[in-house]
Amino acid sequence: MERQWFVIAFALSLLVLGVLVTFGFTAFIRTIIDHQVALRVGGQSFGWWSRPPVEPIIRIFVYNVTNADEFLNNGTKPILDELGPYVYVQTWEKVNIKENPNGTISYNQKRVYIFNEDLSGGLEDDVVIVPNIPMLSATSQSKHAARFLRLAMASIMDILKIKPFVEVSVGQLLWGYEDPLLKLAKDVVPKEQKLPYEEFGLMYGKNSTSKDTVTVWTGVDDINQYGIIDKYNGRSHQTHWLTEQCNRLNGTDGSIFPPRITKNSTLRVYEKDLCRLLPLSFEKEVTVRGGVKGYRFTPSPDVFASVEKNPENMCYCPAGPPCAPHGLFNVSLCQYDSPILLSFPHFYMADQSLRTAVEGISPPEKDKHQLFIDVQPDMGTALRARARIQINLAVSQVVDIKQVANFPDIVFPILWFEEGIDSLPDEILDLMKVATTIPPRAKFILTIALFGLGGFLFVVAVICLVRKSHRQSTLHLEGSNYLATASVDQAKKKAKMDNGMSSKSN
């Protein structure tokens, strides 16, 4: 009897464990993952974060102007020839890392770009004709200045022989070349108003350690803050835009996000060149190399929408109206007042009149021109990414400056690029697959085993207990019947003896 009760107690213990596994196993695994993911100095995730074991690639496509003279003299449409890609393999490293007592960590980003001729469709020495961005920026800024200043600027450009288009190599366009206007500004502009560079290049100064100090939350104290920017150069907010919400910096760098991402989550990436957070929404489920499941997040169609189509974007138009056309984002406030407008490549998700204002740009294609990040939702790690942006120059006609008197108001495409990674190393993907697929299977097997074995033992023990009780009852009844029969037999025997004795006495 005691054995059956012991089995029942053991079976109930297994059933209780089954309940705990059903409702607590997932939370237990999440706690382990959160602990491993958080940025702890010396930890594995910290090593991957500080020196990513990937080689991001940037592909650059330059729009070469093939009819610059006809465009200026005859007012014909500019004809563009898309050259490239010019491919650079990168190495990323976070340097000057410093732990802070409030659960954050500060660093500077170091990037090294190495030109890869084998992957490229041209050489850095390829000569291209592109708009003279320093000159056109200066003339556009002078549009509302006093007339004598515009005339003086025209005279200076005459003397320096500055033209609206320049002929430079791709390498010079990207990494810098000496510009007469910048050189002049270095000598005549007051020190406090000088530009922080002496040459002009669209990627000038990026092939080095950034001077920007970024401070992010480690996630050790609160995993929901993991990877989110706390300060950028000591500031928690930008100062360019009209509202506190639009000036926020509380996004990530796009490589990591807080864990447990859902399809309803909005990912926010801070991009310095945009000077704002870029919100990303769920688009679809994806599978990357190695069978790891992920979610694809992309910008919503209204992220660069005109204020007429998305009134919330009014906060990004401090000088307007008029504001940027639909599909363009004005970054002049954080690009030293240069009239730079960013868009997606080939004016994807923008007003198509921008594309048809020039010749040579094919209609946009989602697969080629969409920006996206594929994220592992449980761990918040980027699996694959494509940051695709086009740089455009907003040119204004200024009649008093003869060099650009025939230059119409136009958004002139300069180049576009895509930067990102195709996949993480097998070592990381294998760990992700184990961390995301083994626990659910283990939970299922443990649940079935605990409930199955516990239920089986409980039923068997109860059956044995019932049978044993029934057997004891039967034996008790048989014993009682035997005693009753014996009593009857003895009574009969006694009666018979009494009758015999009576007969003898008679």
Report pLDDT digits (tens) over 268-315.
Answer: 999 888 899 999 999 999 999 878 899 999 999 999 999 999 999 999
Q: What pLDDT, on a 0 to 100 scale, did the predictor assign at position 401?
A: 81
Contacts 24+ apart (CB under 8 A), 179-184: 179/134, 181/134, 181/135, 181/138, 182/134, 184/156, 184/160
Using CA of residue 130, residue 394, residue 304, residue 254, what is the dihedral sign? positive
Confidence of residue 10 (pLDDT cuts 50, 70, 90): low
Can you tell me the distance from the alpha carbon of 85 to that of 116, in angstroms, rounded to the nearest whole number? 10
Q: What pLDDT, on a 0 to 100 scale, did the predictor assign at position 430?
A: 81
The encoded tokens of residue 316 equal 């990004």
Count CB-CB contacts under 10 A for residue 120. 18
Can you tell me the distance from the alpha carbon of 127 to that of 66, in angstroms, rounded to the nearest whole number? 12
Confidence of residue 481 (pLDDT cuts 50, 70, 90): low
Per-residue H/E/C for 319-376:
CCCCCCCCCCEECHHHCCCCCEEEECHHHCCCCCHHHHCCECCCCCCHHHHCCEEEEE
The encoded tokens of residue 242 equal 């009209």
Closest CA to 34 of 221, 300, 250, 230: 221
Confidence of residue 498 (pLDDT cuts 50, 70, 90): low
Q: What pLDDT, on a 0 to 100 scale, did the predictor assign at position 426?
A: 83
Residue 24 has pLDDT above 90, yes or no: no
Q: What pLDDT, on a 0 to 100 scale, did the predictor assign at position 162?
A: 87
Per-residue H/E/C for 364-385:
CCHHHHCCEEEEECCCCEEEEE
Instruction: Give the DSSP H or E segment for 90.
Output: strand 80-99
Q: What pLDDT, on a 0 to 100 scale, did the predictor assign at position 225?
A: 95
Instruction: Give the DSSP H or E segment for 191.
Output: none
What percent of the chain has a predicted confidence (pLDDT) above 70?
81
Q: What pLDDT, on a 0 to 100 scale, did the predictor assign at position 472?
A: 59
Closest CA to 377 of 286, 467, 300: 286
Report pLDDT digits (tens) over 196-208.
Answer: 677 899 999 899 9
Confidence of residue 85 (pLDDT cuts 50, 70, 90): very high
Report pLDDT digits (tens) over 98-141.
Answer: 999 999 999 999 999 999 999 999 999 999 999 999 888 888 87
Residue 246 has pLDDT above 70, yes or no: yes
Report pLDDT digits (tens) over 253-275.
Answer: 999 999 999 999 999 999 888 89
Can you tell me the distance from the alpha carbon of 318 to that of 464, in angstroms, rounded to the nearest whole number? 83
Residue 183 has pLDDT above 90, yes or no: no
Burial class (CB in 10 A: 0-12, 13-18, 19+), 249: buried
Report pLDDT digits (tens) over 354-412.
Answer: 999 999 999 999 999 999 999 999 889 999 999 999 999 998 888 778 888 888 889 99
Which residue carries 């699996």 as its tokens?
A: 383
Alpha carbon separation from 432 to 14, 189, 265, 446 (Å, rounded): 31, 55, 21, 21
| Cα 179–chain centre separation | 37
Can you tell me the distance from the alpha carbon of 270 to that of 252, in angstroms, rounded to the nearest whole number? 6
* Lowest-confidence segment of 17-31, 89-103, 390-404 by average pLDDT: 17-31
Q: What pLDDT, on a 0 to 100 scale, did the predictor assign at position 193?
A: 52
What percent of the chain has a predicted confidence (pLDDT) above 90?
53
Q: Which residue has the higher pLDDT, 181 or 270?
A: 270
Can you tell me the distance from the alpha carbon of 389 to that of 348, in angstroms, rounded to the nearest whole number? 10
- Average pLDDT of 77-91? 96
Report pLDDT digits (tens) over 59-83.
Answer: 999 999 999 999 988 888 999 999 9
Residue 320 has pLDDT above 80, yes or no: no
Closest CA to 229 of 334, 111, 376, 105: 105
Q: What average pLDDT does the structure give for the chain?
A: 85
Q: Which residue has the higher pLDDT, 226 or 156?
A: 226
| Contacts of 375 by beta carbon, 8 Å cutoff, 6+ apart | 257, 261, 267, 294, 295, 296, 297, 381, 382, 383
Report pLDDT digits (tens) over 421-469.
Answer: 988 888 888 877 776 776 677 666 777 776 677 676 667 666 776 677 6
